[in-house]
Amino acid sequence: MSLEIKIPEVGESITEVVIGSWLKSDGDYVEQDEIIAEIETDKATQEFPAEASGVLRIKANEGDTVAVGAVIAEIDTDAKAGGKSDAPKESTASTTTSSDDSEEGKKTGEIKEMHVSELGESITEVTLASWFKKDGDFVELDETIAEIESDKATFELPAEANGILRTVASEGDTLEIGALLCKIEVMEGKPSGTTSSTSQEKPAETSSVSVSGETTYATGHPSPAAAKILEEKGINAGDVKGSGIDGRITKEDAEKAQKPTQQAPKDTSKPAATSTSAAGARDERREKMTNLRKTISRRLVAVKNETAMLTTFNEVDMKPIMDLRKKYKDQFKEKYGVGLGFMSFFTKACCQALKEWPAVNAAIDGDEIVYHDYCDISIAVSTPRGLVVPVVRSAEAMDFQSIESEIIRLAVKARDGKLTIDEMTGGTFTITNGGVFGSMLSTPIINAPQSAILGMHNIVERPVVVNGEVQVRPIMYVALSYDHRTIDGRESVSFLVRVKELLEDPTRLMLGV
């Protein structure tokens, strides 16, 4: 009997998929539930299992775009494995051994499968950033073998057993939670044969790359994702310096790499065209969006479409705070070991104002408005990977030193890509400082599901009237973007005026008046 294999429903909005790759060839014998192909949607890559045992007959080619419900293969269930039965039987035996894990524990010869684990409520897929070990390497329990990236953070992946690594996913692959990453052929001790062969291969591979005795097989070799980017750019891997483990060329290295300009000699024979082409170079490059950038894009568009967002503005005379900092910053640094910045003043002022105007600290949940009696302040931090927003918990109960220390700790972790999911989830109100980049005025976008965000800007000396006299003062424009569904105009304007009052008279922050 011939069984038709069709593309199943993979999501509400998905109507077609791309055949990423066939893991089995036409005419191969396959076992039921054995992975035979990978299909790609605009959101993720999924493994495609065989629905029955038999001989595979492929109907769609790699790279084809097919509609949901289309036939991509057939399986002849009456056909026998024949000469090809040995391989399937062995893999079946290995899989069976794996399923006995709970009864017999990890034994030599067992196959331990490693899947993408749950990383947080809102994370549905990750990207395999890099393998620290290659296929066939011996790995030890809890040894870091790979690094995976979500749209919020980067995580290290430890080995779940001792044994030989068999990679399934490739660097750069986007994987859903629960997807198979690799398999480990469990062994009790490090095999001497494997060690020697591996160590003998490394000099052979590295000799063509570098004469340095410190290089390894990875030196100068691009990861699969990096190799694809370099190929698209037309750049030779030998022209790129790797920053990864042992000098491996990572995806980031490939994205930053520029094609060497070698057109000057050709143009010298054409004097008239040389000046024109040199003056009018029109190079361009394409880079795949990271998960973080895609998530930022999706969330910002959703906020603009799903909230009644508008912005109110005011200005703050920063002279009182600047005078206070100038007077006490050295003593503060000496006592607490951290600098006295503007963020602690703004955080304290916002916490005080949020207590007085709780709607600004609220959020919509379905048909209900959730009011928070605490202030978890999200601080926007720019990193090489994109904008992240770690949270200072219970900021209303913290003093200036605690706030400054926590902001520094979170900012350093953010720039190193080491923030945890817990450190970025939650938050009841956000502060963003575009002034560090020179912004004079902006309308910041709300960090959903919060209802408001305060935007700080650069400090510029401007003429203002003080007690009937024109004086030059350091002025900062501040902006409050808010969701009009939750916050009325009176509340938003009054909140911003209260923040202005507290900042222009810092003693009020100390006294809470």
Q: Which amino acid appears at position 466 of this protein?
A: V
Q: pLDDT-based confidence at 398, cuts 50/70/90?
A: very high
**In terms of pLDDT, which residue wins out, 233 or 259?**
233
Element (H, E) at 21: strand 16-22
Calculate what percentage of the chain has a pLDDT beyond 70.
78
CATH code reported for the domain at 1-99: 2.40.50.100
Residue by residue, what is the 3-state secondary structure of 166-230?
EECCCCCCEEECCCEEEEEEECCCCCHHHHHHHHHHHHHHHCCCCCCCCCCCCCCCECHHHHHHH
**Residue 329: count of CB within 10 angstroms of its CB:** 13
Tell me which residue has tokens 């038999």: 54
Which candidate in 28, 422, 484, 505 is catalytic?
484
Q: pLDDT-based confidence at 422, cuts 50/70/90?
A: confident
CA gap 84, 165 in Å, rounded? 25
Least confident of 148-162, 197-211, 302-316, 336-350: 197-211
Tell me which residue has tokens 């969701």: 483
According to the CATH classification, is domain 298-511 in 3.30.559.10? yes
Could you say which architecture CATH assigns to the domain 102-190?
A: Beta Barrel (2.40)
How confident is the model at residue 121, as a pLDDT? 59
Two domains, one topology: 102-190 and 298-511:
no
Tell me which residue has tokens 């910053």: 329
Calculate what percentage of the chain has a pLDDT beyond 90.
26
CA gap 361, 375 in Å, rounded? 7
**In terms of pLDDT, which residue wins out, 11 or 70?**
70
φ and ψ of 384, to 5 deg: -60, -30
Is there a contact between 182 and 166 (Cβ–Cβ < 8 Å)?
A: yes
Is there a contact between 309 and 303 (Cβ–Cβ < 8 Å)?
A: yes
Which candidate in 76, 135, 488, 505 is catalytic?
488
221-232 pLDDT, tens digit per residue, is: 676 567 767 777
**Residue 261: count of CB within 10 angstroms of its CB:** 8
pLDDT reading at 106 higher than 90: no
CA gap 146, 227 in Å, rounded? 18
476-509 pLDDT, tens digit per residue, is: 999 999 999 999 999 999 999 999 999 999 888 8
The CATH H-level superfamily of 211-256 is E3-binding domain (4.10.320.10)
Q: What is the mean pLDDT of residues 331-353?
A: 91
How confident is the model at residue 12, as a pLDDT? 57
**In terms of pLDDT, which residue wins out, 485 or 307?**
485
pLDDT reading at 171 higher than 90: no
**In terms of pLDDT, which residue wins out, 305 or 289?**
305
| pLDDT, averaged across the chain | 79
CA gap 223, 237 in Å, rounded? 10
How confident is the model at residue 260, as a pLDDT? 65
pLDDT reading at 318 higher than 70: yes
> Active-site residue 372, yes or no?
no
How confident is the model at residue 306, as a pLDDT? 83
Q: pLDDT-based confidence at 195, cuts 50/70/90?
A: very low
How confident is the model at residue 217, as a pLDDT? 45
Q: pLDDT-based confidence at 210, cuts 50/70/90?
A: very low
Q: pLDDT-based confidence at 262, cuts 50/70/90?
A: low
Q: Is the peptide bond before 191 cis (omega within 30 degrees of 0)?
A: no
Is there a contact between 9 and 68 (Cβ–Cβ < 8 Å)?
A: yes
Q: pLDDT-based confidence at 86, cuts 50/70/90?
A: very low
Tell me which residue has tokens 């109507």: 15
Going from the C-alpha of 400 to that of each of 108, 377, 380, 436, the distances in angstroms are 57, 14, 18, 20
**Domain boundaries, given as residue ranges, for the chain:** 1-99, 102-190, 211-256, 298-511
> Active-site residue 484, yes or no?
yes
Q: What is the mean pLDDT of residues 64-83?
A: 79
Closest CA relative to residue 377, chosen from 450, 320, 430: 430
Tell me which residue has tokens 């002022």: 349
φ and ψ of 277, to 5 deg: -70, -35
How confident is the model at residue 223, as a pLDDT? 65
How confident is the model at residue 82, as a pLDDT? 53
119-140 pLDDT, tens digit per residue, is: 765 677 788 888 888 888 888 8
**In terms of pLDDT, which residue wins out, 185 or 236?**
185
CA gap 138, 67 in Å, rounded? 42
CA gap 361, 470 in Å, rounded? 37
How confident is the model at residue 185, as a pLDDT? 87
CA gap 157, 167 in Å, rounded? 13
Least confident of 22-31, 402-411, 474-483: 22-31
